[in-house]
Amino acid sequence: MSSSGIPRSGQALSVDEAEDLLRCICFKTGPPRTVGVEVEWLVHELRDPRLPVPPERLALAVDTVRSLPLASALTLEPGGQLELSSPPAASLMSCVDTVSADLRAVREALSSHGLRLSGYGVDPWNAPRERILREPRYDAMETALDRTGPAGRGMMRDSASVQVCLDAGHEEPGPLGHHRRWQLAHLLGAVLVAAFANSPVHGGRWTGWRSTRQALWTDIDPARALAPPQDGEPRTAWAAHVLDTPVMCVRGTETPWAVPEGLTFREWLRTGSPRPADEDDLRYHLTTLFPPVRPRGHLELRMIDAQPGPDGWIVPVAVTTALFDDPEAAETVYRAVKPLAERAGSRAAPRNPLWLAAARDGLGDPELHAAALVAFEAAREALPRIGASPAVQQAVNAFHERYVLPGSCPADELQEVAS
């Protein structure tokens, strides 16, 4: 998430023009060549992570981090989380090497302020966190999400993730075709939730979920967080979903921004009220939708919890990239997860039975465990073919042995956090 300024002047859009624009910008097809990652981290006290970080100390530390010559874009999230967004990389290893170097610099800078980065899907100790950012975007977001309960505040302030970004794929059918990749992302996504679940404790208490972060996403405004149908043509389905989702806010020169209730973007275009909507408004509207898979030209997979350890984030990036971009692995894993569609049923992710089981039970769920075994084996075989280094292959192998083979996940090792 990032703040944005006042809308630029522009001509009002029609519904047809908006649909055409969405079809052009949200699925940019071609051979899969690039990979990226957005890595969110909680910021904790170095000496005792259970102590809240005073906002003044965090601000000083962030100023130091902002002065670093990073290749990745740095963002401060509403609860004080730090996010590094890599530039598009030509290979898995280019992405890993770039972000690893940036993270080393960030950790060193934070350490000089007595702070550290922590990899948890939600803050195990300090919840609810204070909202650090007081900006029109986040004021409006909080107002809108509060209408459906407290989960929105938890998502904004207390959560962190590993978001993997991959090209949309070929236009034509096949294991790397964009339609197949769109379907794969929503079925494999549940397996990724289960395998990398790492947030069973929130604010010092057990929640009953392996991935409390995913449970928070399940409970926020369903129109904003649900996936569109996957059985039709992706561009058409996504365009309809975008236009039929309520507007989070109408930006203006004065604050606070208007937060209408129930006004879809389609209705805004048709009525021109409270003011005509233009292309910039549509692009901004796209940033206020939070489905588990978000098409932004590429596919942004948003369902993975932040991972433990300084390099834990590398494993989900490597596994996901291998399963999507290696044709043999993509075909193998698609066959393995396709039967899960019956269990998902007609309800959209993440509110269907499959995704709920993934967040609640992790790989303790037998069907998800069986799919994960196939997925990780396919990824391990594909990693050498896509140029993964021996160190990255070793990290994936270690995760496979530690968690996937026995049907566990990082959440199962966090019992001491609540004590």
Please check the confidence at residue 130 and state whether its pLDDT lies above 90.
no
Say if domain 15-37+131-407 classifies as CATH 3.90.550.10.
Answer: no
31: Cβ contacts below 8 Å, ≥ 6 apart:
167, 170, 176
Query: Is 168 within 8 Å of 178 (Cβ atoms)?
Result: yes
Please check the confidence at residue 394 and state whether its pLDDT lies above 80.
yes
Q: Is 110 left (phi over 0), alpha (psi -120 to 50) or beta?
A: alpha
The average confidence (pLDDT) of the chain is: 94
pLDDT of 1 reads: 37
Long-range contacts of 99-105 (CB under 8 A, 24+ apart): 99/37, 99/39, 99/72, 99/313, 100/311, 100/314, 101/71, 102/68, 102/70, 102/71, 102/72, 103/39, 103/310, 105/68, 105/70
pLDDT of 128 reads: 80
Average pLDDT for residues 167-193, to the nearest whole number?
95
Measure the CA–CA gap between 202 and 359, rounded to whole angstroms.
Answer: 14
Please check the confidence at residue 63 and state whether its pLDDT lies above 80.
yes
DSSP one-letter code for 341: H
pTM: 0.95
Q: How many CB atoms lie within 10 A of CB 165?
A: 25
Nearest to 190 by CA among 333, 337, 299: 337
Query: Is 198 within 8 Å of 121 (Cβ atoms)?
Result: yes
pLDDT of 231 reads: 79
Please check the confidence at residue 417 and state whether its pLDDT lies above 70.
no
Please check the confidence at residue 34 and state whether its pLDDT lies above 80.
yes
pLDDT of 353 reads: 96
Query: Is 293 within 8 Å of 182 (Cβ atoms)?
Result: yes
- Tracing tokens 């029609």 back to the chain, one arrives at 14
Banded model confidence at residue 418, pLDDT cuts 50, 70, 90:
low
